[in-house]
Structures are given as C-alpha cells and as structure tokens.
C-alpha cells in the first residue's frame, strides 16, 4: 500500500537541515506520492496551530528542527492532540552535546547560517586584500574599508591579510618617490587611510636582510640609509597632506599594529553613527 504522504518540515530558522534529512530518508522508499512542505522562520505559537490544522486533514507527519524550547513544547503537544507523528531532529543531538560538553545550548535559531555568512565575508575580504595589494588597482581604494600607505617593508601586506581575517576589506598603496601617488587616494576620507612609518635604522636592517634573501649585495640603493631617509621624508609629506593617522610599526608586532587600526575603525564608526 502506497498512500499519499505529506511531510511537514517546521523550523524556527531556514529549515534546510530538516528538509535534507527528510529527502535522504524518503529516497530509501518507493514513495510515488510524497510531498515535502517546508515552513521556515516559525516564531509564534499561532503559526504552529495553523500548520497543525492543515496537517490534521491529511496523511501527514511532522519533522522539526526547533531550538526554542517553548515552541518545541507547543508543537509536540499540538501534534499529539491530533495524533500526528512529530519527529524532533535537533533535541536528541543537543541534549547529547550538552551532556558531553557540560555546557548549556544557546537556543538561538539560525546560528549556523550566521557562521556561514561570517565565513564567506572573511573569504571576500581576503580576496579583496590580494586583488588590491601593493597598489595593483587604485579603483579598489574607494571600495576598501581601510587603505594602508607606506614605503616598502612597513608591513602593509601582512597587515592587510591580518585585517582581512577580521572581515575588513583592506587595500594598500606603496609610497615611492619616483611613482606618482594615485589620484584616488585624495578622493577618499582621510580617516579611512592609515599611514605606516618606521625607524630608519630598523628599516635598514630589514631591507638588508631582504637583499640577502634575494641574493643581492647590501650596497644596493634600496637599503642605503640616504635612500631610506629620503623615502621616509617623502612618505611623511604625503601623509601630512592627506591628514591621515600615522602608526610607527618599527617596534610593533602585526597583531599590535592591527589592534590600533581596529580601534581607529571603531572610533570612526562611532563618529559616523
């Protein structure tokens, strides 16, 4: 006997988990007339009553993924009253985890979706940082949450990637005396720009190590003190012209510099709101 069956999937979130479980289970049967009806974002007891009143008139069963205790209780009671089979997917797993972890569940709908959204936002920020690294495309400056500027070896790229993992879109622009500064830099709000500077002696050491890694001689102009002082003076002039905050990164770890930038972002947000 193969009667028509309607499976009601009820959730206080999107309901996708419950629907996928039902589909997987139904696939194990030759069910020629099976229908799945999904009811997402159920947040009121009245909604549950309406669904039960519809289900009681059909050959039906209910599968639910609800984390709000009061709604679970109401659904069980209403289904039992009308002799409708109701299967709770989430509660046995949550109870087991509660016992194993020794912790209480949040009982908040849609958390997995929020986690997914946060993950994809992070990926988007990382891709942005790669695309607009080292002044590759000045069009990205207007799209960025923060723009880092500074001479070579002032941690622009490491900071960009670190902040990207905090879901912040960062572009960075190298300041080189021989290369014109992109016009777009002067068309964005100065509070979105962070100038990075450093101690010339420290920078000299870093650049010499960089030359060694590349198999070049230490006498190259790139690592000379005169060149470094010239670049720092040039960069300082640009930063003053822009009126942007300046961070000395010479004695700071990436995390420490990033923390200062995050605080600047926070202050800017407060001012705007």
Does the domain spanning 5-109 belong to CATH 3.40.50.2300? yes
Q: Rounded distance, CA 146 to CA 173, Å?
A: 11
Residue 150 labelled as part of a binding site: yes
How much is the mean pLDDT over the chain?
Answer: 90
Q: Tell me: the pLDDT tens digits for 209-249?
A: 888 888 887 767 888 999 999 999 999 999 999 999 999 99
pLDDT in the model for residue 116: 67
Q: Is 13 annotated as a binding residue?
A: no
Segment among 45-49, 95-99, 200-204 with least mean pLDDT: 95-99
Q: Say if residue 27 carries a ligand binding annotation.
A: no
Topology match between the domains 5-109 and 112-272: yes
Could you tell me which of 165, 227, 234, 161 has the C-alpha nearest to residue 195?
234
Is 157 assigned a ligand-binding role in the annotation?
yes
pLDDT band at 1; cut points 50, 70, 90: very low
Q: What is the pLDDT of residue 108?
A: 75
Cα(184)–Cα(176) distance, integer angstroms: 16
Backbone angles phi, psi at 57, to 5 degrees: -95, 5
The structural domains of the chain, with segments of one domain joined by +, span: 5-109, 112-272
What is the assigned CATH class of domain 112-272? alpha beta
> pTM (2 decimals)?
0.62
Q: Please report where in the chains the tokens 């002044």 appear, as a residue.
A: 135
C-alpha 153/C-alpha 196 separation (Å) is 10
144 or 268, higher pLDDT = 144
């Amino acid at each position: 006997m193969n009667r028509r069956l309607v499976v009601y999937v009820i959730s206080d979130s999107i309901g996708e988990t419950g629907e996928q479980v039902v589909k997987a289970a139904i696939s194990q049967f030759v069910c020629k007339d099976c229908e799945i009806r999904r009811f997402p974002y159920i947040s009121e007891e009245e909604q549950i009553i309406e669904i039960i009143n519809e289900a009681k008139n059909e050959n039906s069963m209910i599968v639910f993924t609800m984390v709000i205790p009061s709604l679970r209780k109401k659904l069980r009671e209403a289904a039992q009253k009308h002799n409708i089979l109701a299967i709770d997917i989430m509660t046995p797993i949550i109870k087991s985890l509660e016992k194993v972890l020794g912790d209480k569940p949040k009982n908040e709908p849609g958390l997995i979706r929020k986690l997914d959204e946060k993950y994809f936002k992070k990926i988007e920020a990382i891709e942005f940082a790669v695309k607009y690294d080292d002044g590759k495309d000045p069009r990205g400056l207007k799209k960025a949450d923060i723009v880092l500027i500074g001479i070579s070896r002032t941690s622009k790229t490491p900071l960009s990637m670190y902040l990207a993992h905090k879901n912040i879109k960062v572009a960075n622009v190298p300041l080189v005396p021989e290369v014109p500064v992109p016009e777009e830099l002067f068309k964005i709000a100065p509070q979105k720009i962070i100038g990075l500077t450093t101690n010339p002696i420290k920078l000299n050491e870093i650049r010499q190590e960089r030359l060694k890694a590349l198999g070049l001689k230490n006498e190259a102009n790139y690592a000379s003190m005169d060149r470094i002082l010239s670049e720092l003076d040039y960069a300082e002039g640009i930063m003053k012209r822009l009126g942007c905050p300046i961070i000395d990164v010479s004695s700071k770890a990436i995390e420490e510099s990033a923390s200062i930038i995050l605080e600047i972002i926070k202050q800017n947000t407060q001012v705007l709101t």
